Structure 1
């Protein structure tokens, strides 16, 4: 299923362009929309969806809409509350997939006070909250029972926590969404998920690209300009972006590339029209340096979930 992401941590589809971007993506053939409460543009994304439905481009059931539970809403009583609010912003009755955005519980922030609440309190400090994952997951399962979400899953989780959730889950995680690109190949994590039939979705498929403008690319050379990527792209007459996306999809990993540009949206959609050779897949995977660009530990040492 063709997909579009509405924001990544460092770079988002802006409110002013979001409705048009969503509408144009649907018109181009995209059917999966990946959003989140933290992205701050769910209302605008919903406007794009409503326009597309009103114009007869799609029906609601043709779309697969994903959103995510932010860290400040992990307590049982807050999960359903915020999910209903997010559905209202989208203007829909259910999410096709709802993910726990990070395995991090932060102090509750009332949406009427600040939304999205982001990582910090009013004083700029990070405040954690002692809500265990089994409480949050139990509340997520209630969303399925009440038909507010068709599927539930995890994001930014490592193997030990996934195994923990599987021990008590009534509804097992259907999807794990993680940072994954040739600089961070995560082979063991992908293998674990396949073992338990958990689908893997990759974000930041272009590696440092979306982190450059904020100066948090950690000095890594661009994958879009890397000699290996460029050589493979030349072999197939494709763009470097298409090669990076195909490297993931050919491994059985879904991708959610972000773009505001209609031309790139169309090009990204064409990433499965060719196959990489085993040697090309291996050459791209050999670029792995375990470079994690989206790490909450960079915000606060107490949030080192990938330690």
Structure 2
């Protein structure tokens, strides 16, 4: 049974970190929620240089408070942000001028992120990003690859890895084929409209690219109500939300979790551990449930 156990990403640890804390739409509560998430046990944070939906400066404020309080050091956390094109920005609030050349847009955006997320209030010199994502492909493949090449100049000193969000398989393949610094992260909606990105996720597995999901709960009401998820929830004595999270993680997906409830932060993290504990105690039942779930999303 030990060889079978290794095939479960949830049980083997290949699904770590359990969650990335998503900071979109948190507005003025962003700093407090980032601190709450880290205190609860989150060790990865997602944000973006997109004031329309994110308060990246308040993410940095929350992180610096955590460091100041001695809870963690910068190296204990994974922090990723994004460059967002003008099409995704609020024209009245953006980190660069929309008419700037692409290279200038990216340089100004990255500089603003490094400043916002600096670990020390008065010193940007030691600031770095674990990953920076293109928030979406640019209008053409050529522009997307050009943007990628510009970002490569920051690796590995100021940016450790690169990724892309809201991407299709052909675009991801084109980036991978043309990149010196290969993609490390893809962040997409995991939901039925894209058939759960099956071919794209297979490509990610083949090329050691971490696939991150958002809209995991809101985009999947049918999965959440499914008998398979309910059976796991009842068996492990967790909520259906946690059961779905666990089954998605077992696919090798890193889940974004943007809860604003400190109770849910604690429950989600402890709930994943509860599912692992139950699964280890009843491996046969766990493998039956996960097999049924895989047939639902990977027919």
The 5-angstrom pairing of residues 56-205 of structure 1 reads: 56-72=70-86, 75-92=102-119, 93-105=127-139, 132-144=143-155, 147-181=157-191, 184-205=195-216
Contact 1:37 1:67 in 2 (8 A): yes
**Secondary structure of residue in 2 paired with 1:37:** coil
**Shift, 1:272, TM fit:** 4.3
**Secondary structure of residue in 2 paired with 1:47:** helix
Query: Which is richer in helix?
Result: 2
TM-score normalised per structure 2: 0.76
Structure 2: segments with no counterpart, 5+ residues: 1-16, 87-95, 120-126, 280-284
Q: What CA RMSD, in Å, does the superposition of the two structures yield over aligned residues? A: 2.5
Contact 1:249 1:255 in 2 (8 A): yes
TM-score normalised per structure 1: 0.74
Structure 2 equivalent of residue 236 of structure 1 = 236
Matched residues in 2 for 1:60 and 1:16: separation?
Answer: 23
Contact 1:4 1:33 in 2 (8 A): yes
Contact 2:47 2:54 in 1 (8 A): no
Matched residues in 2 for 1:152 and 1:243: separation?
Answer: 30
Matched, 1:279 2:288: yes
Q: How many residues align structurally?
A: 250
Matched residues in 2 for 1:186 and 1:136: separation?
Answer: 24
Matched residues in 1 for 2:273 and 2:188: separation?
Answer: 21
Contact 1:182 1:284 in 2 (8 A): no
Matched, 1:206 2:217: yes
**Secondary structure of residue in 1 paired with 2:65:** helix
Contact 1:99 1:153 in 2 (8 A): yes
**Shift, 1:187, TM fit:** 2.2
**Shift, 1:223, TM fit:** 4.3
Are the structure 2 counterparts of residues 43 and 91 from structure 1 closer, same or farther at C-alpha, using a change threshold of 3 Å?
same
Structure 2 equivalent of residue 37 of structure 1 = 49
Contact 2:118 2:128 in 1 (8 A): no
Structure 2 equivalent of residue 122 of structure 1 = none
